[in-house]
Chain A
Amino acid sequence: MRLARMGSFFPTRLSFMRTLIRRLQAEGSAVERPVWNIGPEGYGHAVYSVPLGGRVYSLIAYADPLPDDARTDRVIAEAWDSTYVLFDGVPTAEDIDRLRDHVPRQEAGRYLPTELILSRANKSVRLFDHVVERLAQGRQPDGDKVAETGYLLRTTAVYGNGKFGIADRERIAGRPGLAGSFQAEMLTVWLIRGFSLDLVEHIAAARGGDTAVPLAPRYRRHFGIGNSTGLGMAPFLINHPVLINNWMEARETAYARVRGQAGTDPERIDRFLNLHGRARLHIGEWFTTDPRQRVRIGLLHSELGDLTDVLTPAWFDAPFPWQRLHEHCVALSEECQELILALMLEPHGDLIDDLADRMSETARPAFDPTVSASDMIGMLKDRFRWSLGIDFARPPAQQLFWYVSEEKLEPRLGDRFREAGAEKELALDIARQAQALYRTLESWPPDTFLAEILMAHPEHRHIARRVQATRSCPYAEIQDNLIGADCLPIDLLRCKLSFFGASKFDPKSDRWTRITLYQGAPGFDEVDREDADDWAFPILGSEPCTAP
């Protein structure tokens, strides 16, 4: 698992948003809006409730005025256009009033275990007012503007698992519907997306009266939810090695199952080729100002075009067509390889969808202090060989340090040789720690128990545990130097976001990106349709789910 590979991932049908939508579809979940207390300017509060897995969950949305100069996506922001909480059950008026005093303040508020997820969003300055204005005039928004931005609201944080007193993950971990990875977070974002559509139409109707029109279905479907993501997401991947292993293992297992199919059938071929064409159009609607990503998109578009000539009926008639396609793509860019992987998984839901159930396990393997120094050295040589050759005496090999700023506890990345604070760096220097453990182990007699070594060297306890975990979790570690001068955190962000199901990565630097969530996904009134799961690689020009 290398950074460059992770930084090329695309969402797949195992991504968490896809899993959630399939679950909602299977249950025929119908969203209700029991409270709509929003004024003509779009301020107030609303509640959406949805049944899932035998329970009801509710999004409480608060929309407030926000001066333009106070609008920022950074963690250091203190006010937002809208704030949200996913509530366990249906909130009473007292709950809504209580949370009114806390949710708009986000991190500065305090919460109870009935609150499952906390989030906030800002309007897209480029698009929100344009859409309101057009709808109020009885017109649809400019299609180019819609394609360019793709969302009305942009979330800037989605907090779960006990933050600020909200429910621990443990509360929902065993519940049908929310047991999978980040399902409560994904449900929250899907409900926020529905709110954003209702909100823009409501303001337009108040402004335009009888002249106003609702959004055309193709736009309702196309608008996703934007998201701004920075470094805060990166340490998660290093701090949850077992969980990350399970995500990667499910993905790799799915890919192996598909490649292992000796033949295929016309239905899968049609589906794959149709998606290949849709993906090419989708890539054409992928806008970014980032020079590196623009080059990659250009190459990807070209490579996908070349594949059109390869993917003939004869290709699929020969044995093991998917394995041969995999081998053919080895010569292409990693971005193209990963997109083809995502496309290959799409027609094989019957073969791979069960893997989604295995992705949320977080329990670490038991630590074994009875292994010998030589056993540990063997594990390091087997699983951490990638780290043992790095020359940390070279300054660039440890140029960077990860830290938590005292400013709203924002995770940041510093230059060890130019900035203060390296003595407080986070322990994300896995390669350096592994090397240090290796050197220590070599200095002890080979049959010494690890317990005795750690007694003398407690500084290695953390990495020793990680090394042991890789025996049963082969994908637990990112096999790159995360403090090296050439580390690109954006690769970590894209990896995690792709598992969420994010698309349209729009890097704003090497450590900050915009993305779009749920673009093309079914809305509240479409989730029970037979084709509700057909929204991979959406394009504005199409409507994958046509009216029944």
Chain B
Amino acid sequence: MHRSLNEIEKTLIKAGVGLGWPLGLAEETASAATWLVSQGRDGVAAALNALRAEFSKATAERTAHGWQIDPGPVVATGPTALDLLELASPIHLGHVDQPLLLAGLAAMRAPATGSIEILGQSGTPLFVCRDGLEGTAPHPGPIRLAPCPHQSSHTAGRGIAVDERHWSEAERLAALTYVPASDASRTAGAGAGAIDNE
């Protein structure tokens, strides 16, 4: 079924928060997923799979060859890696569970970092810029991130049909942020009182 980009983003933010992720990380995940959807990629599934990982903070170590980020959920390690990419390059991530989502996160940062090369174990890079991505997302595993001069020639797609199973799951998770109704909240919580029909 057709979903608007705004619906997708807002629902995924709530899903992330509902699953216990800090708001800032949920927002970046949702923005990345929405951007992927606008490119014709299955950003909703990538985000849901990533958000289902248990919340943990990213940890990293500075080495002689840039930053080495320990394995962890990409919802936390992705934004951290891209933060650190503005300080030093390259960035090595020990394990990325959802590389496609990392590509979306990279696209959100591309205005500041320029195009980014995402290199997995296969050795075939995925190039990401704000306007699109070119190549195939690596398989889950170690990833190397680095700025690159490559400019994507990809033309943005506009696919925003979302798999209904994924959408139902996203809405179920978003509902974790809703407060159950009560008589008190119904009457006083919105402030309308009983005088709204005259």
Contacts and interface: CB of A to CB of B under 8 A. Distances in A.
B86 A369 contact: yes
B77 to A, nearest CB: 9
Interface centre among A367, A419, A450, A512 (most CB of B within 10 A): A367
A291 to B, nearest CB: 14
A299 B166 CA distance: 57
A166 interface: yes
B148 to A, nearest CB: 19
A450 B84 CA distance: 10
Interface in A98-154: 110, 112-113, 122, 124-126
Given A459-B22, A461-B22, A419 B185 contact: yes
Contacts, number: 172
A470 B46 CA distance: 32
Interface string A323-350: 0000000000000000000000000000
B3 interface: yes
A404 B179 contact: yes
Interface in B154-198: 175-182, 184-186, 189-193, 195-198
A454 interface: yes
A462 B24 contact: yes
B64 interface: no
Interface in A460-513: 460-465, 489, 508-512
Given A72-B196, A168-B6, A424-B177, A405 B191 contact: no
Interface centre among A71, A404, A489 (most CB of B within 10 A): A404
Contacts of A510: 191
Contacts of A404: 177-179
B150 interface: no
Contacts of A110: 1-2
A230 B192 contact: yes
- Counting contact residues on chain A (CB < 8 A from B), the size range is 35 or more
B189 A413 contact: yes
Interface stretch (A73-81, A243-251, A257-265): A73-81
Given A113-B4, A163-B4, A419-B185, A406 B180 contact: yes
A167 interface: yes
A419 B24 contact: no
B60 interface: yes
A458 interface: yes
Nearest to B58: A455
Interface string A385-426: 000000000000000000111110111111000011100100
- Counting contact residues on chain B (CB < 8 A from A), the size range is 35 or more
A169 interface: yes
B115 to A, nearest CB: 15
B190 A162 contact: no
B191 A230 contact: yes
A161 interface: yes
B83 A455 contact: yes
Contact of B190 (A164, A231, A465): A231
A113 B84 CA distance: 39
Contacts of B180: 405-406, 420-421
A449 interface: yes
A370 interface: yes
B80 interface: yes
A461 B182 contact: no
A309 interface: no
A95 B1 CA distance: 18
Contacts of A455: 57-60, 80, 83
B90 to A, nearest CB: 15
Interface in A499-548: 508-512
A172 interface: no
A127 B80 CA distance: 59
7 contacts: A165-B1, A231-B191, A369-B83, A404-B179, A420-B180, A451-B86, A509-B191
Interface of A: 68, 71-76, 110, 112-113, 122, 124-126, 161-170, 228, 230-231, 366-370, 403-407, 409-414, 419-421, 424, 427, 449-451, 454-456, 458-465, 489, 508-512
